[in-house]
Amino acid sequence: MNDVAHLVLADGKVFEGRPFGAAGVTVGEAVFTTTMTGYQEVATDPSYYGQLVVMTAPEIGNVGVNAADSESIDPLDTTRDPGPKLAGFVVRDLSPIASSWRAEETLGAYLARHGVVGISEVDTRSLVRHLRDHGAQNAAMGTAPPDELLRRAQQAPDMNGLDLVQFVTPKRPYAWTEGRGAWAPGAGSPDFQRQERAGSPHVVCLDFGVKRNILRCLVDVGCKVTVVPASTTAAEILAMKPDGVFLSNGPGDPAAVTYAVETVKALLGKVPMFGICLGHQLLGLALGGKTFKLKFGHRGGNQPVKDLASGRIEITTQNHGFCVDLSTLPESVQSTHIHLNDGTSEGLAAPALRAFSVQYHPEAAAGPHDSLYLFDRFRASMLGA
């Protein structure tokens, strides 16, 4: 195997490294995440579909990989790990060993088994600074010559206008019953056990690329969960008699997922709704707003968000490249949370329509647990309705 690999950005910038994982070449949008832990959750998050993810943490792979920590879901066998969803993985130092009692294989072996190209020994500090200054952009990486990689990067479709949901949504509905179990905060307390035995509102989750731990959090607050494909119509959802509808995270340009926007519009006011990440953006579009692409996005487990009602600051997990334009929303829609770094939209509410959403990931897998209360808020809105 060639022991030299390159990552070449569409603007011509070249970074050298060593290949790991699967052999070959991969193409996608180069983005970076500042999360310090949870590289397996990053690799398996469907929201990263079509992207080459650069880890800013210097050493990756030291605790290996295990099936329980995967965020992607096989609807036909929800206990099985279907593998990574990103297009490629970029790291500085790849740990040569996996040192954890939970490890089942190394990161390199895991990526190779699932056909995902990786590159290590890259100057990720320089690469991240370049992406921060010049913006996220298409790139190609692998063992092909740099001029070939540049050609492929420049020919790749731009993320604007791409509907990537179709590649990660399930083909058919399925039920979800698994909670976080022993890993949930306070799982051994009597309060948690009472919560599990409380009333069970029926939640229909529109799956645009949902993470496993989001569904687990819905179960933990006492919900009965049915997951449906992104193409499911409002009439089909209402026929399931849900107490609430959840709009999941997912990849790509929200404005390109026009069928989902129409579905959300048709559901507004008929049933309580809660959206996360792409679901937040789709709700914003359905309420009459517009979205735009951020220069390099918000990705990481250390993103500061302010709750405008309480003034409380939450440290959040995020993974998105598009954002709701607050200036385009009607007066009936409230901005509930903002990002403290740039003032962009992090939360919306339409109280008259019983709908709310956040741009970040309150399930925080991996990341801080500051925002878990939002799942309780959703449950309360359904029981109140």
Residues with catalytic annotation? 277, 361, 363
3-state secondary structure of 38: coil
Question: Cβ(346)–Cβ(315) under 8 Å?
Answer: no
- The one-letter amino acid at 206: L
Between the two ends of the chain, the Cα-to-Cα distance in Å is 60
**Is 26 exposed, middle or buried, given 0-12, 13-18 or 19+ CB atoms closer than 10 A?**
buried
**Is 93 exposed, middle or buried, given 0-12, 13-18 or 19+ CB atoms closer than 10 A?**
middle
| Residues contacting 369, CB < 8 A, separation 6+ | 185
CA 264 to chain centre: 19
Q: Shortest CA distance to 76 belongs to which of 172, 154, 12?
A: 172
**Is 303 exposed, middle or buried, given 0-12, 13-18 or 19+ CB atoms closer than 10 A?**
buried
Q: How many helices (H) and strands (E) does the chain have?
A: 10, 19
Q: Shortest CA distance to 73 belongs to which of 205, 161, 183?
A: 205
> How far is the CA of 276 from the CAs of 32, 226, 370, in angstroms?
20, 17, 15
